[in-house]
Amino acid sequence: MGNLVIAEEEKAIKAVEAAHGNEPRKIHDLSILLEHVIEYAPVVEAIRSAAIRLSGYGVLTRYPPTIELLESDADSALIDASLVLESCTVHMQSIKVSQ
């Protein structure tokens, strides 16, 4: 669950960074990636907590946990992923409109 969900959000955040003329960073932690785009994409500030939660799932699935993930964890991750993608999409659309 974690890596598949996070990969799309990571790409979306990196697309925002690239759209502003910056080289996307070669890291996978969504909260750190957000730190670098907030200055020119303030809309992403609203999704910081979702990004932090999603990053946690990435670590859990790369390094198998000793805790059991529940279906409710997956549901929460999908909601967070939708928030991140929607926020990045709205920002990218606003860039296209202003150009």
Contact (Cβ atoms closer than 8 angstroms) between residue 67 and residue 8:
no
The rounded distance, in Å, linking the Cα atoms of 35 and 45 is 9
Record the tokens describing residue 63, joined without a space.
Answer: 């390094």
What pTM was computed for the model?
A: 0.73
Q: Which residue do the tokens 């990053």 mark?
A: 55
- Output the pLDDT for position 1: 47
Contact of 47 with 34, CB cutoff 8 Å: yes
pLDDT digits (tens, 9 = 90+) for 7-36: 888 899 899 999 989 999 888 888 888 888
CB 19 within 8 A of CB 92: yes
The tokens of 6 are what?
A: 């996070």
The mean of the pLDDT values for the chain is 80
